[in-house]
Amino acid sequence: MEALVDGVTERWFTATFRRDNPEEVERIAEQIRATEPDGYAACCAAIRDMDLRPTLSAIKADVLILIGDSDPSTPPQDGELIADNIAGARKEIVHAA
């Protein structure tokens, strides 16, 4: 898992956040290191294989979509797509990864 720490923390946290909050980033890095590799791989496969876009319109609850302007995993255009496909969804764009 050590080999994944830098890539994961770079996706989850902006460069500014990593610079200004090294203790918090290290806390998450330790959690990544403690993760079972088989479990991590299975979760990655599940995320890779799921496509929930066709079911978005079935959501009837009040929804707030938080869109990270620096999120490489769910880029802003994907957050917009989610918000556009849930009736009445509100969205906020935040400076985050």
pTM of the model: 0.77
| Pair 74, 68: CB distance under 8 Å | yes
**Which residues have CB under 8 Å from 82's CB, separation 6+?**
56, 65, 89
Strand (E) positions, 1-97? 64-68, 90-94
- 42-54 mean pLDDT: 95
Query: What pLDDT, in 10s, does the model give residues 13-42?
Result: 999 999 999 999 999 999 999 999 999 999
